[in-house]
Amino acid sequence: MNTMRLTAGTLIDGTGKAPAHNMSVTIRDGRFVSIEPQAPQPERGNEGVIDASTYTVLPGLIDAHTHIHTPGGPTDNYALAQLKGSLGALALETYKHVLVDLSMGYTALRSLSSPAYVDISVRDSIDGGILPGPRLKVAGQGLTATGGHMDKAWWSPDLNVEGRTGVCDGPWACRKAARTQLKWGADVLKINPCVGDYRNLHTPWRQEMTYEEIQPICEEAHWAGKMVAAHTAGGRGITDSLRAGVDTLEHAHWLTDEQLETMVAAGTFYVPTLIVNTRSVEQGGGQRDVSPEAWAWLNKVYEEKWETLRRAKEVGVKIAAGTDAGFVVPHGENALEILELIKGGFTPMEALVAATQTAAECIGMGNEIGSIEVGKRADFVIVNGDVLADPSLLLDRANIMAVYMDGVNVTPSL
């Protein structure tokens, strides 16, 4: 039996409970087994000690929406990155990106689409003990209609780029596409039922998959005990997704009261990915080949997403932190979403819960990780400073003193 004792100056457990000070946490065989106030004179056992008595200890952070095959950032060409190099090279780059996230305290990531099955391969290498890395819940190929959000005409029609996304039309083809992702090991299915529409800002969304296409995908996922994540903007595509049983709504800048009520009743998670929009707006129109119409749309989202977030929070929708890292947002800057949620009305503690306990539930790991509670896996981050007073501390690697998974120090040296 391997036992360690962790002494925490400040302990934030991820459940939303007030921080505790001078705590002693016992970890046995990779799990938390006791959490109690530190005795004034801690008895000397023969177990190892992790001394974080001058630091803050948080549960391992979780990013519920990433694309791990691309670096993100202003110079990243997302379309080209999916085409250049071999799949082997792409897998190595993917591995580098997840290590960058891990180095910032992110011990679990959900990857919502990756070309071919690169994210599945990297997850298997990590889970199989071949390489150290964060926990990954992966989608494999994103499922999309012909010409849809993930099947854009970025390249010449005579180029064959099949296998990069899961293109499917009609109920049976969509059912087969779902079965194919599950066959190759997807943990979650990613669909693209509705997207932003730049043509008319009075209805800034457009549906791309029908209810009859979404429903069999949800059914197959649920039969296999997996979840479905939907890229959405607003409108009937969201209503149809909810009716079909989608588990997590991504982006979803516009939600009606009725849709919010349905989400509360069904326990649907909302991953608003505020930072990808904010970062796009910060980068300015004219950059990254953004058309004037797309620029107007991005600004409309920027003005209206906060109100949707406020209403969702008010009625009690479960809100998880996700960045879209790998698309616009660089890996390693995942904690930006925590700051965005605070900008949108969350307390620092509520924003941390969105990036720990709620995110763990959103990626289907709520029983195993996401909080520092007895029985959970000992995934935690040791941070220098008071993150509740200044959550932006989490953006500077110099403040991330160490990252642990299953009670083992896994801090990458990058």
Cβ-based nearer residue to Zn ion, 97 or 376:
97
Give buried/exposed letters for 148-172 (b at 16+ CB in 10 A, else e).
Answer: bbbbeeeeeeeeeeeebbbbbbebe
Q: How far apart are CA 135 and CA 62, in angstroms?
A: 9
Residue nearest to Zn ion (CB): 324
C-alpha of 411 from chain center: 20
**DSSP codes, 47-79:** SEEEEEEEEEEEEPEEEEEE-TTS--STT--HH
SS3 107: strand
93 is a site residue for Zn ion (CB under 5 A): no
324 belongs to the binding site for Zn ion (CB under 5 A): yes
C-beta closer to Zn ion: residue 324 or 333: 324
Minimal distance, residue 328 CB to Zn ion, in Å: 10
By three-state DSSP, how is residue 163 classified?
A: coil
Span near Zn ion by CB under 5 A; candidates 236-244, 262-270, 319-327, 332-340:
319-327
For residues 8 and 230, which CB has a smaller minimum distance to Zn ion in the complex? 230
Residue 237 CA to residue 251 CA, distance in Å, equals: 13
- Of 93 and 324, the one with the shorter C-beta distance to Zn ion is 324
The interface region with Zn ion, picked from 89-97, 199-207, 238-246, 322-330 by CB under 5 A, is 322-330
Q: Which is nearer to Zn ion, 5 or 137 (CB)?
A: 137
Query: Applying CB under 5 A, does 337 fall inside the site for Zn ion?
Result: no
> Mapping DSSP to helix (H, G, I), strand (E, B) and coil, where does residue 400 land?
strand
Spatial CB neighbours of 410, under 8 Å, sequence gap ≥ 6:
102, 107, 132, 133, 403, 404
304 CB burial (10 A radius; 0-12, 13-18, 19+): middle
Q: Does 63 bind Zn ion (CB under 5 A)?
A: no
The size of the chain, in residues, is 414
- Residue 113 beta carbon to Zn ion: minimum distance, rounded to whole angstroms: 7
Please identify, using beta-carbon distances, which residue of 13 and 324 lies nearer to Zn ion.
324
Instruction: Mark 270-309 with x for binding to Zn ion (rule: CB under 5 A) and - for no binding.
Output: ----------------------------------------
151 binds Zn ion (CB under 5 A): no
Stretch that binds Zn ion, among 128-136, 294-302, 303-311, 317-325 (CB under 5 A): 317-325
123 vs 251, beta carbon nearer Zn ion: 251
CA gap 412, 337 in Å, rounded = 22
State the residues that interact with Zn ion by CB under 5 A. Answer: 324
